[in-house]
Amino acid sequence: MDKNQLAIEINPHRMSAFEVKDQTSTLLATKICTNKSDSGYKQTLQELIADCGNTDRFENFSCSYSQAQSTLVPMSLFGESTPENIINLTSHQAVSKDEIDYNRLPEWNMVNVYRMPMWIKSALIIKLPRIVIQHELSHILRFLNTGSTIPQRSQLILQEDHFCLVVRKDGQIVHATYQVYQSAEDVLYHLLYTYQQLNISSKGELFLQTSTEALHQVAEEVSKLAKKIAQFEAISITISMNDHLKFQSLCV
């Protein structure tokens, strides 16, 4: 039997907590981020944890942070530079050294270097000292090393104003980006452009992952629009809510 896990998902607009057990993700609490200062975010996160009740019932704890300040680099390049230099070369905003973290992903021979705000660490580690805090992209990449053997597989996780798209083709990660969007059409446009650039038209899988009913509706609209386009005729599209929270179980 799987261990009982508290899985937290954070993005700049919303924080949610889930109980993950026996391959099922159940929403425990959610908070909208109205005060978008560091102190405001920290207070919202503390309130989210309080809303979860007694956390002694959980055996494992994890947190996924979703935001675009993330860079994938080969392990060889990572060894020749520093995390600060790598992320600040690619980020549109400077990231302070104490907010830079990284995860080695030997299964892909890559390192994910990313920004992890101090307010997340300070709020969570005090309340949940055993928690594993990582970037959303690290969780997706670890998951893509498991499961389906179909050569072409894409994971797209929708958040309130951005999404993460990762494509595995012929056993390799060939695409991993964050994009902002305002509508389902924006998401589809980026998907179509990416598939065209990667020459993807043969049999494959596309998983649209969401955490809220509103985002689920966006995913359904993306799927509906995609089925009208020849590029997606051979692509099996699956929409699911909260399934991607289980990816965090691979990191605890």
Hey, how many other C-beta atoms are within 10 angstroms of the C-beta on 228?
Answer: 9
pLDDT band at 23 (very low <50, low <70, confident <90, very high): confident
Eight-state DSSP code of residue 182: S
Record the tokens describing residue 99, joined without a space.
């907010």
At residue 157, does pLDDT exceed 70?
A: yes
159-214, pLDDT tens digit by residue? 999 999 999 998 899 999 999 999 999 999 999 999 999 998 778 999 999 999 99
pLDDT, position 221: 98
Q: Which of 51-60, 143-152, 158-167 has the lowest mean pLDDT?
A: 143-152
Report the percent of the chain where pLDDT is more than 70. Answer: 98
Q: What is the mean pLDDT of the chain?
A: 94
Query: CA-to-CA distance for 139 and 101, rounded, in angstroms?
Result: 14
**Pairing outcome for strands 162-169 and 172-180:** antiparallel
Residue ranges covered by each domain of the chain: 149-243
Average pLDDT over residues 232-251: 92
The string over 129-143, giving b where at least 16 C-beta atoms fall within 10 Å of a residue's C-beta and e elsewhere, is eebebbbbbbbbbbb
The string over 100-122, giving b where at least 16 C-beta atoms fall within 10 Å of a residue's C-beta and e elsewhere, is bbbbebeebebbbbbbbbebbbe
Report the percent of the chain where pLDDT is more than 90. Answer: 86
Half-sphere exposure of 141 (CA within 13 A, CB side): 24
pLDDT, position 1: 46
What are the beta bridge partners of residue 162? 180
At residue 147, does pLDDT exceed 70?
A: no
Rounded to 10 deg, the angle between the 213-226 and 184-197 helix axes is: 50
pLDDT, position 136: 98
Average pLDDT over residues 131-151: 89
Cβ neighbors of 237 (< 8 A, separation 6 or more) are 206, 207, 208, 223, 226, 227
pLDDT, position 93: 79
Q: What is the dihedral of CA 61, 67, 71, 75, to 10 degrees?
A: 10
At residue 244, does pLDDT exceed 70?
A: yes
Judge contact between 152 and 201, C-beta under 8 A: no
The three-point CA angle 138-87-183 to 5° equals: 65
pLDDT, position 150: 74
Question: Could you give phi then psi for residue 55, rounded to 5 degrees?
Answer: -85, 0
Record the tokens describing residue 220, joined without a space.
């359904």
CATH 3.30.420.260 assigned to 149-243 = yes
Judge contact between 252 and 132, C-beta under 8 A: yes
